[in-house]
Amino acid sequence: MEPRDVTGRPRRPLAVAALVAELRATTVDPAASQALRDAAAQRLARLAALTDDEGHPLVPAAHPYRWWGLNEPTRSEVPLRDRDRPVVLSGSALDQLANTCALQWFLGREVKADAPATAAQGFGNVVHVLADEVASGSTPADLDVLMERLDSVWNGLVFDAPWKSAQEKDQARAALERFLHWHVMDRAGRTPVAGEHGFDVTLEAGDYAVRIRGSMDRVEQDAEGRAYVVDFKTGKAAPTKDEVAAHPQLAVYQLAIREGAVDEVFDGRRPASGGAELVQLRQGAPKKEGGDALPKVQGQEPLAGEWVSDLLATAAGRVLDERFTPSTGQHCAHCAFRASCSAQPEGRHVVE
Ligand code: SF4
């Protein structure tokens, strides 16, 4: 056929997905004639029957078995978790379940549909490992040595482009420099007692028992002999002051201390919790707190009140009752499940 010059925007995108959408809409359009609706259904059937050389459908979306919204919702016969056993959660899972989006937690952690580790996680892992080596004394607190270690592992990380790798490496250097400055400065008389300290405690929260497993980046002892937990962050965004005051991960560390999570590194004694903090290695401190050479530090006071217990109970209740409804917010911007989320325009086809 001779190509024909068409000016202006086509009525719909000239793509298979748009064609299927239009045909589907026509089959149920009350304003369309019966003949047109039948013709649309026949075309859908033809598209659905097309296969490649190996028999795989070429247009699977044209087949009604992919029209999820036509199905009745189903309920699993097997409960997700055994009600008679403690609900196992991590500090970050708690945040997702109680504060951000339970559906995101379900799809990411339970269904394990999260995307594979990204370069951003690689960055975080490298910086965490080096910080731990310095804390444990296996690598000296010396910038040149740290940079050599960084050079030796950096090329193992996969980036989309060489310029991105170079840019991130500069950021990693800056993060390690900030870490070193922080590590050697006087932190209100606190001294490190453990790094990458694993723990496993079971906490009572209302009617539920919640088992929390995790690892504290660093445990320190303050001048009054209390335990203080430090969590290194390498992300680009930092929580607000109010969010840190109610930060579930820090709060869980503090609760875990109460339950004996750090007794072994305090010579068997049960220390009180002196608070916890986030150390944002990718971000410089405000000028009045030392400026860009130091990391931004965000502290949480020792726990008071019942709010953490309420948070644990809310999260455990959601898991046991399997209430994974989407709740939208800023966290949706980076959510990998938008196309399967009924609260988003691009995911609405799942239920409609
Ligand atoms: S897009 Fe938003 S509401 Fe939907 S699952 Fe993701 S975080 Fe939850």
Residue pLDDT, tens place only, 189-241: 999 999 999 999 999 888 899 999 999 999 999 999 999 999 999 988 899 99
Structure tokens at 242: 């109010």
Q: What is the pLDDT of residue 202?
A: 94
Ligand 1 pocket, mutate which of 341, 342, 346 (most atoms under 8 A from CB): 341
Ligand 1 pocket, mutate which of 111, 327, 346 (most atoms under 8 A from CB): 327
Q: Measuring CA to CA, which residue among 333, 319, 332 is closest to residue 90?
A: 319
> How many whole angstroms from 91 Cα to the centroid of ligand 1?
19
Q: What is the pLDDT of residue 39?
A: 97
> How many whole angstroms from 284 Cα to the centroid of ligand 1?
30
Residues of the chain with confidence (pLDDT) below 50: none
328 lines ligand 1 (CB under 6 A): yes
Q: Measuring CA to CA, which residue among 175, 85, 80 is closest to residue 126?
A: 175
Ligand 1 pocket, mutate which of 97, 100, 104, 111 (most atoms under 8 A from CB): 104
97 lines ligand 1 (CB under 6 A): no
Q: What is the pLDDT of residue 42?
A: 97
194 lines ligand 1 (CB under 6 A): no
> How many whole angstroms from 67 Cα to the centroid of ligand 1?
21
> How many whole angstroms from 338 Cα to the centroid of ligand 1?
6
